Amino acid sequence: MARDATARLYDVDANSVKMDKKVGTIIFRAKKGKLVDLDKLHESVRATRLGDSTGMALKWLDVTVQGEVSAADREIRVKVPGSEHDFLLEDADKEAERGPFDRLKEALARGEKVVSVTGRVDGWNGNWTQFLRKLPGQPRRIVVKDFQTAKP
Protein backbone atom coordinates (compact mmCIF):
# COMPACT_ATOMS: atom_id res chain seq x y z
CA MET A 1 0.00 0.00 0.00
CA ALA A 2 2.71 2.52 0.92
CA ARG A 3 4.63 1.52 -2.22
CA ASP A 4 1.54 2.12 -4.37
CA ALA A 5 0.79 5.40 -2.60
CA THR A 6 4.32 6.59 -3.43
CA ALA A 7 4.14 5.41 -7.04
CA ARG A 8 0.86 7.32 -7.59
CA LEU A 9 2.44 10.69 -6.88
CA TYR A 10 2.62 12.81 -10.06
CA ASP A 11 6.23 13.78 -9.38
CA VAL A 12 7.56 10.28 -8.63
CA ASP A 13 8.97 8.10 -11.40
CA ALA A 14 6.65 5.10 -10.93
CA ASN A 15 9.22 2.79 -12.60
CA SER A 16 11.81 3.75 -9.98
CA VAL A 17 9.74 2.66 -6.97
CA LYS A 18 11.31 -0.43 -5.44
CA MET A 19 10.17 -2.13 -2.26
CA ASP A 20 12.41 -4.51 -0.33
CA LYS A 21 10.15 -6.36 2.10
CA LYS A 22 13.08 -8.13 3.79
CA VAL A 23 14.77 -4.87 4.72
CA GLY A 24 11.53 -2.90 4.91
CA THR A 25 12.48 -0.09 2.54
CA ILE A 26 10.90 1.77 -0.34
CA ILE A 27 13.31 3.55 -2.68
CA PHE A 28 12.17 5.99 -5.36
CA ARG A 29 13.23 9.07 -7.30
CA ALA A 30 11.55 12.06 -8.85
CA LYS A 31 10.61 12.19 -12.50
CA LYS A 32 13.16 14.04 -14.58
CA GLY A 33 12.61 17.77 -14.10
CA LYS A 34 10.21 17.28 -11.15
CA LEU A 35 10.50 17.71 -7.39
CA VAL A 36 9.03 15.29 -4.87
CA ASP A 37 6.71 17.39 -2.72
CA LEU A 38 7.00 16.14 0.87
CA ASP A 39 3.58 17.56 1.77
CA LYS A 40 1.99 15.48 -1.00
CA LEU A 41 4.06 12.43 -0.08
CA HIS A 42 2.78 12.69 3.51
CA GLU A 43 -0.81 13.14 2.25
CA SER A 44 -0.52 10.17 -0.11
CA VAL A 45 0.80 7.82 2.57
CA ARG A 46 -1.86 9.09 4.98
CA ALA A 47 -4.54 8.23 2.41
CA THR A 48 -3.55 4.54 2.67
CA ARG A 49 -5.16 4.57 6.13
CA LEU A 50 -2.52 2.15 7.41
CA GLY A 51 -2.56 1.88 11.17
CA ASP A 52 -0.38 0.64 14.00
CA SER A 53 -2.00 -2.79 13.79
CA THR A 54 -0.09 -3.41 10.55
CA GLY A 55 3.18 -3.36 12.48
CA MET A 56 4.49 -0.76 10.06
CA ALA A 57 6.40 2.37 10.97
CA LEU A 58 8.39 5.01 9.19
CA LYS A 59 11.99 4.56 10.27
CA TRP A 60 13.43 7.48 8.28
CA LEU A 61 13.27 9.39 5.03
CA ASP A 62 16.60 9.95 3.31
CA VAL A 63 16.70 12.53 0.52
CA THR A 64 19.19 14.00 -1.88
CA VAL A 65 18.49 17.64 -2.57
CA GLN A 66 20.14 19.32 -5.52
CA GLY A 67 20.22 23.05 -5.08
CA GLU A 68 22.06 26.07 -3.84
CA VAL A 69 23.67 25.74 -0.41
CA SER A 70 24.33 28.97 1.48
CA ALA A 71 25.39 30.03 4.95
CA ALA A 72 23.90 33.04 6.73
CA ASP A 73 23.23 33.99 10.34
CA ARG A 74 24.93 30.81 11.64
CA GLU A 75 22.54 28.67 9.60
CA ILE A 76 23.27 26.62 6.52
CA ARG A 77 20.40 26.01 4.11
CA VAL A 78 19.85 24.35 0.78
CA LYS A 79 17.37 26.07 -1.52
CA VAL A 80 15.40 23.82 -3.85
CA PRO A 81 15.46 25.41 -7.32
CA GLY A 82 12.09 25.96 -8.95
CA SER A 83 10.24 26.01 -5.63
CA GLU A 84 9.70 28.04 -2.49
CA HIS A 85 11.19 25.24 -0.38
CA ASP A 86 14.46 25.17 1.46
CA PHE A 87 15.94 22.95 4.13
CA LEU A 88 17.92 23.88 7.21
CA LEU A 89 21.02 21.67 7.38
CA GLU A 90 22.11 20.15 10.68
CA ASP A 91 24.84 18.01 12.17
CA ALA A 92 24.03 14.39 13.03
CA ASP A 93 26.52 14.15 15.84
CA LYS A 94 27.68 17.42 17.32
CA GLU A 95 30.27 15.53 19.39
CA ALA A 96 32.00 13.83 16.47
CA GLU A 97 35.02 15.41 14.87
CA ARG A 98 34.95 16.27 11.18
CA GLY A 99 31.70 14.60 10.29
CA PRO A 100 29.91 15.34 7.00
CA PHE A 101 28.37 18.56 8.32
CA ASP A 102 31.78 19.88 9.43
CA ARG A 103 33.29 19.02 6.05
CA LEU A 104 30.40 20.81 4.33
CA LYS A 105 31.02 23.96 6.41
CA GLU A 106 34.73 23.78 5.56
CA ALA A 107 33.95 23.45 1.84
CA LEU A 108 31.71 26.52 1.99
CA ALA A 109 34.39 28.47 3.89
CA ARG A 110 36.89 27.63 1.11
CA GLY A 111 34.44 29.08 -1.41
CA GLU A 112 33.50 25.75 -2.95
CA LYS A 113 30.03 25.53 -4.47
CA VAL A 114 28.00 22.78 -2.81
CA VAL A 115 25.45 21.50 -5.34
CA SER A 116 23.70 18.65 -3.53
CA VAL A 117 23.14 17.39 0.00
CA THR A 118 22.09 13.92 1.11
CA GLY A 119 20.65 13.32 4.54
CA ARG A 120 17.83 12.27 6.78
CA VAL A 121 14.73 14.48 7.01
CA ASP A 122 14.12 15.34 10.65
CA GLY A 123 10.70 14.36 11.98
CA TRP A 124 9.97 11.76 9.34
CA ASN A 125 9.88 8.76 11.66
CA GLY A 126 7.65 6.95 14.12
CA ASN A 127 4.71 4.61 14.10
CA TRP A 128 2.12 5.27 11.41
CA THR A 129 -0.53 6.75 13.64
CA GLN A 130 1.78 9.30 15.26
CA PHE A 131 3.60 10.18 12.05
CA LEU A 132 0.50 10.50 9.89
CA ARG A 133 -1.42 12.57 12.43
CA LYS A 134 0.37 15.74 11.37
CA LEU A 135 2.95 16.84 8.85
CA PRO A 136 6.41 17.29 10.41
CA GLY A 137 7.17 20.92 11.20
CA GLN A 138 8.82 23.79 9.45
CA PRO A 139 11.48 24.66 8.71
CA ARG A 140 12.28 21.30 7.26
CA ARG A 141 15.60 20.03 8.55
CA ILE A 142 18.06 17.63 6.98
CA VAL A 143 20.68 15.87 9.07
CA VAL A 144 23.64 15.86 6.67
CA LYS A 145 25.13 12.50 5.70
CA ASP A 146 26.95 13.50 2.50
CA PHE A 147 27.28 16.31 -0.04
CA GLN A 148 28.67 17.03 -3.48
CA THR A 149 30.56 20.07 -4.73
CA ALA A 150 30.67 21.40 -8.28
CA LYS A 151 33.49 19.98 -10.34
CA PRO A 152 36.09 22.64 -11.26
Give the CA angle between residues 140, 41, 133 to the nearest 5°.
75
Domains defined for the chain, CATH in brackets: 1-49 (no CATH), 60-152 (2.40.50.140)
In this prediction, residue 101 carries a pLDDT of 92
pTM: 0.81
pLDDT of residue 54: 65
Task: Tell me whether strands 140-149 and 86-90 are parallel, antiparallel or unpaired.
Answer: parallel
Identify the pLDDT of residue 10.
66
| pLDDT on residue 132 | 73
pLDDT of 69: 94
Residues of the chain with pLDDT under 50: 1
Which are the contacts of 22, defined by CB distance < 8 A and separation ≥ 6? none
By CB atoms closer than 10 A (0-12, 13-18, 19+), residue 148 is: middle
